[in-house]
């Protein structure tokens, strides 16, 4: 990652450049799309906070470990979401934040219900000494001295802390109107401005409430107890109120009026996903608290993605009339009409067009396209799985000091994307397996959050893998020689050994009813053969070779079939 975008200074790998730009003058799409999106960079965080983000002392390390909890202790809004904890059960490796259904941010009354201890924004209206006491009591697993440092940073530098405190003062001074409320609303004209960051006073002007429903985008502040109120993701304070440690100065987030230039065409506004893409790039001259967030960064990404998806869905729900005409003509609907027991159709029917990625029509269309390719080219020749490897050099070198690859799902995805495209290019253009005429692939994310790709390759007549010799030339299912192929040997040892499962590990994910569903260990075989369905049985010689993998001796029966050339890459 050593080339910077000429427009926004985001750091890139060479392979990320636009394919039509030159190596001497590269341009990039994912950061700012050649300068079409211009957003002020993040301001430097307060020095005391930056010390916690960068420091190597025990206090800083503990802070980074529990950053998401510290953030929760200072968030103004609470997160409403059903978290799926099952993904973290009985599993090694770092925790994953997975959600189900809708995600939203909520704010409640500025005063706690009688008898309850204050939380979230309520803590900002107390005297610092009392607020700290509550925070320490609510977060007994966090360090009091760190809570103290963070609280004084918030009170000094975070504009919303001051805004909430003064709103509460104003509200409580209105003695005989317990129903009084105030609204945080972006000041008119702020949105269109670019070049500098709007301040909190501009994105959140306090207006007296008038009892009406008001603009749905307002954030409502009141002191009387009542239900939690949902905050619109279109409010520029949506992200800074939920992630005060990522945006300590209250830097405003996405709103619907950020201009997005399209050269030669009418300008539009930037979508939330475009905006977030811009934000999650490392840049020369920008200190990104976001990329240093670790598990909090993961939450921020899930949050922004959920908001993006909710926006898309609500657009589709509101535009059903326009969409329908175009919808009911396609092949995917003819196929789908057979499926009479679709649970999605109970209740009000909302049709997701095939352009909605991940929806049933999209899946159906992709599936039908793939089947058409398979019908035309007859037989699939190669079925290749490519798994993201968090130890890839590109990822390791791009990590910020002290980070592990799991702190940076952004880097894993970007490097994976680059790798699979270079592999597809090599297969289809260089022809490492012979002349490839077509390929079809799907990308899935495993439980640990790592992506992998299943790729089907179709070769032309003379290059089709028909005989056992053809197959042996492309695929191997045995240990490489550690002396003549050291790199490949290490890769196979690390990534191409199945299990451990069976007696050694009865709770392995592949185990069902006491048996390995992938049929490992495979029997030893002296030569490659094809069964009556044309499936190969790879040669797995019983040559006495066995190597220690994680304390267990592993022989050729456990090696996952692989292509030596691609595996060594």
Nearer to Zn ion, 111 or 516 (CB): 516
Does position 205 bind Zn ion by CB under 5 A?
A: no
Beta pairing class for 382-387 and 436-445: unpaired
Does position 510 bind Zn ion by CB under 5 A?
A: yes
Please give the C-alpha separations between residue 355 and each of 152, 313, 323, 335, in angstroms, as whole numbers: 48, 12, 11, 17
CB 73 within 8 A of CB 135: yes
> What minimum distance in Å lies between the beta carbon of 9 and Zn ion?
7
Nearer to Zn ion, 31 or 246 (CB): 31
Nearest to 501 by CA among 517, 518, 522, 516: 516
Backbone phi, then psi, for 58, in 5-degree steps? -65, -35
Nearer to Zn ion, 37 or 488 (CB): 37
Nearer to Zn ion, 35 or 94 (CB): 35
Q: Which of residues 57-76 bind Zn ion (CB under 5 A)?
A: none
Sole binder of Zn ion in the list 1, 32, 131, 453 (CB under 5 A): 32
> What minimum distance in Å lies between the beta carbon of 308 and Zn ion?
20
Nearer to Zn ion, 7 or 172 (CB): 7
CB burial of residue 278 (10 Å; 0-12, 13-18, 19+): buried
Rounded to whole angstroms, the Cα distance separating 565 from 474 reads 9
Q: What are the DSSP calls for 509-528, one per residue?
A: TTEETTEETT-PSPPPBSS-
Nearest to 204 by CA among 187, 192, 181, 189: 187
Does position 10 bind Zn ion by CB under 5 A?
A: yes
Nearer to Zn ion, 147 or 477 (CB): 477
Of 24-32, 89-97, 236-244, 449-457, the segment contacting Zn ion by CB under 5 A is 24-32
CB environment 379-391: b (16+ within 10 A), e (fewer): eebbebebebbbe
Does position 520 bind Zn ion by CB under 5 A?
A: yes
Residue with tokens 């997975």: 98
Helix (H) or strand (E) holding 323: helix 320-327
Does position 1 bind Zn ion by CB under 5 A?
A: no
Does position 36 bind Zn ion by CB under 5 A?
A: no
Sole binder of Zn ion in the list 174, 207, 516, 552 (CB under 5 A): 516
Nearer to Zn ion, 164 or 520 (CB): 520
Strand partners of residue 445? 451
Polymer length in residues for the chain: 569
Of 5-13, 181-189, 406-414, 420-428, the segment contacting Zn ion by CB under 5 A is 5-13
Nearest to 200 by CA among 164, 148, 228, 169: 164
Tokens standing for residue 441: 């692939």
Strand partners of residue 219? 184
Kindly give, in sequence order, each residue whose CB lies less than 8 Å from that of residue 89, ignoring residues fewer than 6 positions away.
none
> What minimum distance in Å lies between the beta carbon of 154 and Zn ion?
32
Site map (CB under 5 A) of Zn ion, residues 471-500, x = contact: ----------------------------x-
CB 7 within 8 A of CB 37: no
225 alpha-carbon distance from chain centroid:
36
> What minimum distance in Å lies between the beta carbon of 562 and Zn ion?
16
Nearer to Zn ion, 243 or 538 (CB): 538
Does position 31 bind Zn ion by CB under 5 A?
A: yes
The residue count for binding Zn ion (CB under 5 A) is: 12
Does position 7 bind Zn ion by CB under 5 A?
A: yes
> Is the link from the previous residue into 521 a cis peptide, with omega within 30 of 0?
yes
Nearer to Zn ion, 7 or 368 (CB): 7
> What minimum distance in Å lies between the beta carbon of 280 and Zn ion?
12
> What minimum distance in Å lies between the beta carbon of 50 and Zn ion?
24
> What minimum distance in Å lies between the beta carbon of 281 and Zn ion?
7
Sole binder of Zn ion in the list 5, 149, 221, 323 (CB under 5 A): 5
Tokens standing for residue 50: 């930056």
Kindly give, in sequence order, each residue whose CB lies less than 8 Å from that of residue 342, ignoring residues fewer than 6 positions away.
336, 360
Nearer to Zn ion, 91 or 518 (CB): 518
Nearer to Zn ion, 187 or 560 (CB): 560
> What minimum distance in Å lies between the beta carbon of 520 and Zn ion?
4
Q: Which of residues 328-347 bind Zn ion (CB under 5 A)?
A: none
Does position 456 bind Zn ion by CB under 5 A?
A: no
Sole binder of Zn ion in the list 150, 200, 501, 559 (CB under 5 A): 501
> What minimum distance in Å lies between the beta carbon of 517 and Zn ion?
7
> What minimum distance in Å lies between the beta carbon of 338 and Zn ion?
35
**Rg of the chain's alpha carbons, rounded to an integer?**
28
Nearer to Zn ion, 31 or 415 (CB): 31
- Give contact residues for Zn ion (rule: CB under 5 A): 5, 7-8, 10, 31-32, 499, 501, 510, 516, 518, 520
């Amino acid at each position: 990652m050593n080339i910077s975008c000429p427009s926004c200074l985001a750091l890139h790998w060479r392979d990320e450049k636009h394919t039509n730009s030159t190596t001497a003058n590269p341009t990039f799409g994912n950061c700012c799309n050649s300068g079409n999106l211009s957003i002020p960079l993040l301001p430097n965080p307060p020095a005391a906070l930056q010390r916690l983000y960068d420091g190597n002392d025990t206090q800083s390390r503990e802070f980074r470990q529990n950053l998401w909890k510290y953030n929760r202790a200072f968030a103004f809004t609470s997160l409403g979401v059903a978290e799926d904890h099952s993904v973290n059960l009985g599993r090694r490796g770092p925790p994953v934040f997975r959600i189900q259904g809708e995600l939203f941010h909520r704010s409640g009354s500025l005063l706690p219900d009688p008898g309850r201890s204050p939380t979230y924004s309520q803590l900002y209206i107390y005297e610092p000494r009392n607020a700290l006491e509550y925070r320490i009591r609510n977060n007994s697993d966090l360090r009091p001295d760190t809570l103290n440092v963070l609280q004084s940073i918030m009170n000094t530098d975070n504009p919303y802390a001051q805004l909430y405190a003064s709103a509460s003062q104003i509200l409580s001074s209105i003695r005989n109107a317990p129903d009084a409320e105030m609204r945080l609303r972006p000041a008119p004209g702020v949105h269109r401005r670019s070049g500098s960051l709007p301040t909190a006073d501009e994105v959140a002007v306090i207006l007296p409430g008038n009892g009406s429903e008001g603009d749905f985008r307002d954030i409502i502040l009141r002191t009387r107890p009542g239900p939690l109120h949902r905050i619109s993701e279109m409010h520029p304070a949506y992200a800074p109120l939920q992630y005060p440690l990522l945006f300590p100065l209250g830097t405003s987030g996405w709103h619907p009026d950020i201009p997005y230039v399209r050269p030669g065409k009418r300008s539009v506004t930037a979508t939330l996903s475009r905006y977030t893409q811009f934000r999650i790039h490392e840049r020369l001259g920008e200190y990104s608290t976001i990329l240093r967030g670790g598990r909090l960064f993961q939450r921020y990404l899930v949050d922004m993605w959920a908001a993006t998806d909710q926006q898309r869905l609500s657009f589709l729900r509101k535009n059903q009339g326009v969409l329908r005409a175009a919808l009911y003509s396609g092949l995917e609907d003819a196929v789908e009409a057979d499926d009479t027991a679709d649970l999605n159709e109970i209740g009000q029917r909302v049709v997701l067009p095939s352009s909605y990625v991940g929806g049933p029509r999209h899946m159906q269309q992709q599936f039908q396209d793939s089947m058409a390719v398979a019908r035309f080219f007859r037989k699939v020749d190669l079925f290749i799985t490519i798994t993201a490897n968090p130890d890839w050099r590109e990822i390791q070198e791009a990590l910020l000091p002290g980070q592990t690859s799991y702190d940076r799902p952004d880097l894993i995805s970007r490097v994976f994307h680059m790798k699979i495209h270079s592999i597809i290019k090599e297969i289809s253009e260089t022809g490492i397996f012979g002349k490839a005429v077509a390929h079809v692939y799907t990308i899935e994310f495993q439980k640990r959050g790592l992506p992998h790709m299943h790729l089907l390759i179709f070769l032309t007549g003379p290059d089709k893998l028909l005989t056992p010799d053809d197959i042996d030339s492309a695929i191997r299912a045995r240990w490489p020689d550690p002396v003549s192929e050291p790199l490949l040997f290490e890769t196979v040892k690390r990534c191409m050994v199945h299990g451990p499962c069976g007696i050694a590990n009865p709770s392995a994910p592949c185990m069902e009813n006491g048996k390995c569903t992938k049929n490992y260990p495979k029997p030893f075989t002296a030569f490659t053969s094809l069964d009556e369905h044309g499936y190969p049985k790879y040669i797995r010689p019983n040559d006495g070779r066995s190597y220690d993998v994680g304390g267990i001796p592993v022989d050729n029966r456990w090696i996952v079939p692989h292509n030596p050339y691609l595996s060594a890459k």
